[in-house]
Structures are given as structure tokens and as C-alpha cells.
Structure 1
């Protein structure tokens, strides 16, 4: 029996492996390649699955980061918080189901802007995620 061929390596990654940031850029620019139609609801469903596949580590702290941007406590999940922030006047409780075409487009733009800003803050320093959780707990401590 022969051993499988070793995977080509690039730095600390194997060929075909992407960082989360690189993956986001790929699904944003080429949604059809991933079976997506480019709608907010499709991206949200995909990202929930991606996050589940990473056991919650891909989006860890994202909801708290969004709540800091919103400036108030909420029971909404991150996807509804984005609609709340991106499309004022549309209830976040409806999530993506209550969006018309223009609102959906604004939500998609906001999704990728917020994700990029979150990843920048999270990865800006070694303790970026810790800073997000600290700021969240200080802001919303009861």
C-alpha cells in the first residue's frame, strides 16, 4: 500500500486552504461558484454553516462587536443585527425575509463591510478578541 502524496504547502497552509478573510472575498465576488445567488439570506445561511463547521470560531465575537456598533443591548442574532444597522426602519426581527431588492443589496454590502471591520479589529492585535469581549462586558454590564 502506498502512502498518499503529501499536500503542497504554502507557509502554514496546504494548497487549497484559505483564510476566513480570503474565503469571504471569494464568496462575495463569486457567489455562484459556491452555489449562492448573492442575496443576503443566502450569504447568511452559508455563513451560519461555515461558522458551525468551525465549531463557532469563525464568527466568535461578531455579535458582540455588532452590539457595540448598535449601541444597545438586543436579543437578535448577528444576521438580524446587520439588517437593523444597515436598513433603518426595517425590523431586524424579520431578518432577511422582509427586505426588498434595494434593502437586500444594502444588507449584503453592510454584511461584508461589517465582517471586514470586525476581522480587522479582532486581528489588529494579539488580544483583539479579548478587547471586543471586554468592551462588550463593560458597555452592557448589569
Structure 2
């Protein structure tokens, strides 16, 4: 008896499934389709939920990668590290909640650029994620 491939499977994934990279592009281009208003805060909330839904694998290594870019250790979460990288003059206390419209636009654009760079570094080679964690451990040894 041979097994039949379900009609909903195409290649190595089901029809309608998107890679994380494709999903990022969709929410960036059409935030309203996902119940988002296009603000940095909405994207952060959505991405935290998406990451939780993947058991923290979608953004695994992103915080460490951002800290390598920042060049110093910090206890902030990735969303605050993005604002620190892009708008170092923004108040450190409240993060993205105090962004004006122009700052919000700059940070949203940077978020997707940084995520793209991170995914490229992480996925460029088989050991991309391992390299990120190795570099992080070497730079921030105690």
C-alpha cells in the first residue's frame, strides 16, 4: 500500500505556509491584513507572539546579533536594542512608546532591514546561528 501525498502539500511545505522571511515581507507591506497599524509597537507585539508560537525559534539569536552590532552588553530585549541602534538619542526609559511619527517610521524601516540582515547571517551557512552565538560568547566573556 502506497501513501498518498495530501493535496495541500507543495514541495516541502503546505500550500499557504510561508517562510519567516516571506511572512515578514507580508506584514511589512500590508500590516492591516494582520490587524496591525504599522507602528513599531504593533510590529514588536506581533513578532513576540509569532516567536512564541514557534517556541522562540523564529528570532533565536536576534538579540545576541543586535548586541554584537551595538558593541556593548545590555539587559534590554531585542525590541529596545533596535531603537538603541537606530535612535541612540531616544529616551532609554520608555523605548518605542515615546517615538514620534518620524522616529517610528525610521525604526520600523530599520527593524525590517535588521531582521533581513540577521536572517541572512543566520541562514547564510549551515552554522550561521552557531557563529552568532560563538561571536557573542567571545565578545561578551566575563
Coarse TM-score class (shorter-chain normalised): over 0.9
**TM-score between both structures, scaled by the size of structure 1:** 0.94
Q: Deviations over 1:79-117 (max 9, x none)?
A: 000000111201344221010101100110110000000
Aligned residues: 138
- What runs of 5+ residues in structure 2 fail to find an aligned partner? none
Specify the alignment match of 2:90 in structure 1. 90
Change (3 A) 1:49 1:11: same
**TM-score between both structures, scaled by the size of structure 2:** 0.94
Specify the alignment match of 2:74 in structure 1. 74
Question: Whole-Å Cα distance in 2 between the matches of residues 133 and 114 of structure 1?
Answer: 17
For residue 7 of structure 1, report the CA deviation from its aligned partner.
4.2
- What runs of 5+ residues in structure 1 fail to find an aligned partner? none
RMSD over aligned Cα, in angstroms?
1.2
Specify the alignment match of 2:113 in structure 1. 113
For the 8 Å contact 1:81–1:92, the answer to whether it is kept is no
Specify the alignment match of 1:123 in structure 2. 123
Over 3 Å off, 4+ runs: none
